[in-house]
Amino acid sequence: MRVLSIGECMAEMSPQDEAGVFRLGFAGDTFNTAWYLRRLNPDISISYYTGLGTDAISGQLRATIKDADINDQYGVVVPDSTVGLYLISLENGERSFSYWRGQSAARSLASDPRALSLAIDDHDLIYFSGITLAILNALGRETLLAALRAGRAKGRTIVFDPNLRPRLWEDNETMLQGTMAGAEVSDIVLPSFEDEATWFEDVDPKATAQRYQTAGANTVIVKNGADAIYHCSPQGEGTVSVPSIADVIDTTAAGDSFNAAILAGLNDGVSLPQSIAAACQLSGAVVQARGALVSVKPMSLKH
């Protein structure tokens, strides 16, 4: 399986033990999923599509992508832009974030429709998120959605995590409309119920799944924190219990890693409940360590 993940990877400044000292890293929802998928199954071909500048930090990000054994040949180069930045602040163990995205080259990732379409045609599965949509302007969103729609018509599998982040959108109504537009071009949607209940006022995970299926998705898996995960697909519906975790240290990338295990399950051809169980196991390990990218072992879901 050839996987293309589309989105933004940002420079991350994380505080260290010494006051005023920060460590530079790189992370972002769609990159995190690609990174975990690479670790779960080294045999899957994975590419990352984004926008990069020509400055030094863009070069560092490109090196990070390559070092992760992820193909960086796709995407666009935006000479007068750079990499988005976020800074993590800690207070009594709680994380908060400050963002600088104005000059992010990733905001122009849909500026070349031909390059985008060629990249989609070169892969079997395309993964994107609500953040991918949110950072684009209206024209960029429509360009991306059109390319994904065309890819789906050609038999590509389109996977979408709504990842609702209202601060990134022009307004809440645009976010809701854009999210549903993302679902309309997707085969698989991977929402988080807490966000969906807040912004779409869904009464339960089944209502979330039905809304996305009505929009056009075939399969929906509704993440729900520590509560049971609801799933529905042409093969039926059901729930999968989430194992309890005694010590949650950092929930960063919990959903991103979960999604990676779902994609790995698609490659391995296993049942949806089996993929979800493996995804719970992986995300459970991730939240018991600090940071977005946590060392994990390769994993085959096949018996």
Residue 261 to residue 257: CA distance in whole angstroms = 7
The neighbour count for residue 53, using CB atoms within 10 Å, is: 22
In the chain the domains, ranked by start, together with CATH numbers, are 2-8+28-83+102-286 (3.40.1190.20)
Query: 3-state SS string over 25-86?
Result: EEECHHHHHHHHHHHHCCCCEEEEECEECCCHHHHHHHHHHHHCCCECCCCEECCCCECCEE
pLDDT score recorded for residue 195: 95
In the chain, DSSP assigns E strands to 2-6, 10-15, 22-27, 45-49, 51-52, 76-77, 85-91, 94-100, 125-129, 157-161, 188-189, 219-222, 229-233, 236-240
CA distance 234 to 106: 35
Tell me the C-alpha to C-alpha distance, in Å, between residue 142 and each of 110, 134, 136, 216: 9, 12, 9, 17
Quote the CA–CA distance of 21 and 86 in Å, as a whole number: 15
- Supply the pLDDT for residue 94: 60
What pLDDT is attached to residue 300? 59
For residues 159 and 275, is the Cβ–Cβ distance under 8 A?
A: no
pLDDT in 10s for each residue of the chain, 303 residues: 999 999 999 998 888 778 888 889 999 999 999 999 998 888 899 999 999 999 999 999 999 999 999 999 999 999 989 999 988 886 655 667 888 988 999 999 999 999 999 999 999 999 999 999 999 999 999 999 999 999 999 999 999 999 999 999 999 999 999 999 999 999 999 999 999 999 999 999 999 999 999 999 999 999 998 899 999 999 999 999 888 777 776 666 678 999 999 999 999 889 999 999 988 888 877 776 666 677 777 665 665
Of 271, 289, 199, 278, the C-alpha closest to 233 is 271
pTM exceeds 0.85, yes or no: yes
Catalytic residue of the set 187, 195, 256, 268: 256
pLDDT at residue 296, rounded to an integer:
72
Interhelix angle 205-215/193-200, rounded to 10 degrees, is: 70
Q: Which residue has 């999923």 as its token pair?
A: 33
Q: 72 an active-site residue? A: no
Q: Say how many residues make up the chain.
A: 303
Element (H, E) at 195: helix 193-200
